[in-house]
Amino acid sequence: MFAVDDLLRRWVEERAASPDPGDGEYAQFIADWLPLASSDDWHRMILGHNRELGDAPLFWIMRQPRCEKATALGIFYLARPGLLLAHDGDRSRTPDRLKRAFDLIGEIRMRYVNGFYREATIGFDAVEALRREARLPAPFDQRALDLVIPPEMRISIVGRKLGLHYGVRNAFLRDSPLGAR
């Protein structure tokens, strides 16, 4: 596993090699900004992050001790954990296009159930996130669901409503919690 700084450095290098001329500058901006940003800023960023640009910033955020529970859950649900139910939690059976999501979901799940995330000041609507973001298949096996999305990660958090004021790259018009779009 890469060190956090190495993870962002490699991501910046990958984005700089992109044919889209702004990707490298954006990645460098994010890599410089993340350590200085507040946990509220991180939460807003994950709600507007374009995953096609890579998951390194999401991995970086979710590995920080001051990452809010709601932010970790937001990253988790936006990675679409329901898409992994068909693969029985087996990375080798997971299609290549879902392997990064598999890793992201798995690491957040491990950290969440082991109590890594302690801050819980931002609200999170787990019912709405499960319904709108998880991408659960119909029907699904409850035991498989409990393995991929443990019951404690399906509990809403009462807290401040913090959503998108402005994204890092684009302006957003909404200020709503994840799931209330």
The vertex-82 CA angle with 79 and 84, nearest 5°, equals: 85
Say yes or no to pLDDT of 175 above 70. no
- Say how far apart CA 6 and CA 18 lie, in whole Å: 19
Express each pLDDT in 27-44 by its tens digit: 999 999 999 999 999 999
Express each pLDDT in 123-150 by its tens digit: 999 999 999 898 988 888 888 899 999 9
**Is 128 in contact with 180 (CB distance < 8 Å)?**
yes
- Say how far apart CA 55 and CA 169 lie, in whole Å: 15
Express each pLDDT in 70-79 by its tens digit: 999 999 999 9
Q: What is this structure's pTM? A: 0.85
Express each pLDDT in 116-127 by its tens digit: 999 999 999 999
**Position with higher pLDDT, 106 vs 166:** 106
Cα 173 to chain centroid distance, Å, stands at 21
Who contacts 36 (Cβ-Cβ below 8 Å, separation ≥6)?
A: none
Cα 141 to chain centroid distance, Å, stands at 24
